[in-house]
Amino acid sequence: MEGSTAWLGWLVQGAGHELMLFASVGILLFGLDDLLFDALWFGAGRARRDAVRGRDPVSGTVAVFVPAWREAAVLPATLTHLLRSWDGEDVRLYVGCYPNDAATLMAVAPLVARDRRVRLVIGPAAGPTTKGDNLNRMWHALGEDERAEGRRFAAVVLHDAEDRVHPAEIALYRVHLAQDAMVQIPVVPHYEPGQRWIGGHYADEFAEAHGKELALRSRLRLPLPSAGVGTALTRNALSLLAIERGGDPFRADSLAEDYEVGMLLDAFGLSARFVDAVDDDRTRIVSRGEFPARVEAAARQKARWVVGIALAGWDHVAWPAARPDDGPRGASRAWAARWMLWRDRRAPLAAIVILAAYIGMILAGLAMAGETLFGWSAVDIGDTLRWLLAFNAVLLLWRLSMRFLFTARCYGLRAGFAAAPRAFVANLIAVLAARRAIACYWTMQRSGRVVWDKTDHPAVEAPRPLLLSEAWLR
């Protein structure tokens, strides 16, 4: 019996040590990557939020694309809110539906009948296809309207079926599209006290990503991914993409067609800008959305992002090369752009490191228990691992401090303090999403078929706009 327990102790201690060493090296590399990005943000990325003014706005009708598959529960309220918010704006809503989605068709039919600004687009194929295919159907419907009416639309705005828009959003787009091909505004997840663990981790991640990541990329004029909502593109920019892709601006065989659009615009030398602005009442101009509140739904949604960006993205989006129009700084800009792309694509590797760290900690706990219960001999972890763990602890404290800063700035101090324990929930979901993403990508490669594995959205009330001065008090 002693021999078997001794052998088990050797296995547990040895495996735990190796996993912790592997995870510590990975966490160190990812942590230094994040630390360098944070240093750049403190040095160059911080900017004050400005009011919407200063340029001659783009004139003309703005098309709003809203793809929908099984969205009967949320779509009528979303469209009604959107039309009221943009009352007086020259906009036309294109709602992309499917012939086999009777519930959604019946839900939006009354709005289509009474408001000429709403255009129902029913694709020829049964749903779900992909979001990119749905967007392409609306793009072709827009072209048909232009030819029939003898005019050209100014821009296209992308939104999802559950989004809550800001009244000044279109005005902001008109101002900034005068000089940029794409404009992205912050996406703010709806934060409910009852959804603080699963739904709340989206709030933490988007607060930091759209408060720091996209802000710095935009400030450094690096490739800027579209979030797929709260995104505006000029008609000319989409026309260029359509020409390059045989008539369809969005890639129909991708699960991250919106992300790829931003990357391709940069490859063509077109500019994109992330705009975090306020209106005259000092409320942020953002797109608010609903995100999953259950582990399974969150893992499914994030798996779709991992497949589209980190796995299939290697096939669809090449590593950026130096552009001739960048001049002498083209090479350095290309390397910076590759770094940003690496940060987008590192999710599966990060999930492996996280999983190794958690298993290593469990084995370390079992080893300590074995020393007490079975008399296993204690094993010195060594100076290398000891120093790695100490340095990574400092990096972890820094990372949690940054997460607190951005979450508190967006949602208030109470939410900021909850961001630290939610980081462990986010890690768990990241591991589950990576596992699902790898399986999904393997299936896609074998079958050659891509399906829109969309997220179901419950109906929510439109949140009240949040004043900047209120956020820290919540």
- List the structure tokens of 73: 């529960």
Report the pLDDT value the prediction gives residue 315, as an integer from 0 to 100. 82
pTM value surpassing 0.95:
no
In a 3-state reduction of DSSP, which class is residue 183? strand
Burial 261-300 (b: 16+ CB within 10 A, else e): bbbbbbeeebebbbbbbbbeeebbbbbbbbbbbeeebbbb
pLDDT in tens, 402-421: 999 999 999 999 999 999 99
- The burial of 380, by beta-carbon neighbours within 10 Å (0-12 exposed, 13-18 middle, 19 or more buried), is given as exposed
pLDDT value at residue 467: 46
Burial of residue 43 (number of CB atoms within 10 Å: 0-12, 13-18, 19+): exposed
Instruction: For residues 189 and 201, give the distance between their C-alpha atoms in angstroms, rounded to a whole number.
Output: 10
Task: Report yes or no: 472 and 413 within 8 Å, Cβ to Cβ.
Answer: yes
Closest CA to 185 of 234, 230, 233: 230
Mind giving me the DSSP string for 210-247? IIIIHHHHHHTT------SSSEEEEHHHHHHHHHHTTT
Task: List beta partners, residue 188.
Answer: 288
Report pLDDT for 474: 43
The C-alpha atoms of residue 287 and residue 459 are separated, in whole angstroms, by: 16
φ/ψ of 233, rounded to 5, equals: -130, 140
The answer to whether the beta carbons of residues 217 and 224 sit under 8 Å apart is yes
Q: Nearest Cα to 263, choosing from 196, 327, 345, 367?
A: 345
Residue 178 has a pLDDT of 95
Nearest to 470 by CA among 413, 406, 404, 403: 413
Instruction: Give φ, ψ of 164 to 5 degrees.
Output: -115, 120
CB count within 10 Å of CB 439 equals: 12
Question: What is residue 456's predicted lDDT score, i.e. its pLDDT?
Answer: 66
Q: How far apart are CA 174 and CA 286, in angstroms?
A: 15
CB contact at 8 A, 222 and 341: no
Sequence-separated (6 or more) residues with CB below 8 Å from residue 110:
76
The CA distance from 471 to 461, in Å, is 19
- For residue 472, the model assigns a pLDDT of 43
Q: Are 86 and 165 in contact (CB under 8 A)?
A: yes
DSSP H or E segment with residue 258? helix 257-267
Coil, strand or helix: which one is 433? helix
Instruction: Return the SS3 of 168.
Output: coil
User: Taking the domains of the chain in order of start, what are their residue ranges?
Assistant: 1-474
Predicted local confidence at residue 382, as pLDDT: 87
What pLDDT does 468 receive?
46
Of residues 132, 48, 138, 59, the one with CA closest to residue 91: 59
Please name the helix (run of DSSP H) or strand (run of DSSP E) that holds residue 262, with its range, or none: helix 257-267
Evaluate whether 360 touches 23 at the Cβ level (below 8 Å). Answer: yes
Residues in the chain where the model's pLDDT stays below 70? 1-4, 6, 45-55, 193-195, 324-328, 378, 452, 455-474
Cβ atoms within 10 Å, residue 469: 8
For residue 117, give the nearest of 75, 71, 62 by alpha carbon: 62
Predicted confidence at residue 46, as pLDDT, reads 64
Inter-helix orientation angle 295-305/198-208, to 10° = 30
The CATH code that applies to domain 1-474 is: 3.90.550.10
